[in-house]
């Protein structure tokens, strides 16, 4: 993807790297960690995020091969640049034992089927619902925020064995979830194109 990087972003990354050494991370992990930190101005994400480079490599290939990208809320979708996304929240309805966010995940799964990249940054119930489905995701970016259910839903994601990006704490949100996806979207397809 050809992308013009604004001088403010260049300077932000320079300052980030001056305060935190990220050079020990593998390439895609480093890209995700740095972009998430950049989106939140929170250096603690360097030790809070959990991901596997092999999972990221497969997801990167799937993303650049056209895998659908599904988001839990439109705020996450708005943060994902240069890529169409699926968000079914407007069509969803809550019901007994089912939040609107969870219903939206069901609707999206019916639409996209297996192999999608799921980006959840708002609702722990959306992540919980995804884990009940046979979604066979290329990747789940599970970074919902909150004091109720966020930590537990992310722990359940890690325990599921699905390829994932998550974090241990209550932190998260739409901006960091979309940043994690953008890191994969912006990263060069061929290693020879990699830039610092």
What is the set of active-site residues? 38
In sequence order, what are the residues at sequence separation of 6 or more whose Cβ sits closer than 8 angstroms to the Cβ of residue 87? 70, 71, 72, 73, 74, 76, 77, 104, 108
69-71, strands of its sheet edge to edge: 49-51, 164-167, 139-142, 117-120, 69-71
The backbone torsions φ and ψ at residue 168, rounded to the nearest 5 degrees and listed phi first, read -85, -35
What is the number of other CB atoms lying within 10 angstroms of the CB of residue 65? Answer: 10
Question: Tokens 């949100």, residue?
Answer: 173
């Amino acid at each position: 993807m050809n992308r013009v990087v604004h001088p403010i972003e260049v300077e932000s990354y320079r300052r980030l790297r001056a305060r935190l050494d990220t050079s020990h991370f593998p390439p895609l992990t480093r890209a995700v960690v740095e972009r998430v930190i950049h989106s939140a101005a929170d250096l603690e994400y360097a030790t809070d995020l959990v991901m596997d480079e092999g999972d990221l490599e497969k997801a990167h290939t799937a993303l650049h091969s056209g895998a659908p990208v599904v988001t839990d809320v439109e705020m996450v979708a708005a943060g994902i640049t240069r890529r169409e996304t699926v968000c079914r929240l407007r069509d969803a309805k809550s019901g007994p034992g089912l939040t609107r966010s969870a219903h939206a995940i069901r609707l999206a799964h019916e639409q996209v089927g297996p192999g999608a990249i799921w980006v959840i940054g708002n609702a722990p119930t959306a992540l919980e619902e995804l884990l009940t489905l046979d979604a066979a995701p290329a990747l789940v970016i599970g970074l919902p925020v909150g004091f109720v259910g966020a930590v537990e839903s992310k722990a359940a994601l890690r325990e599921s064995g699905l390829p994932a990006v998550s974090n241990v704490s209550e932190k998260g949100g739409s901006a960091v979830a979309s940043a994690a996806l953008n890191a994969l979207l912006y990263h060069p397809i061929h290693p020879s194109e990699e830039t610092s």
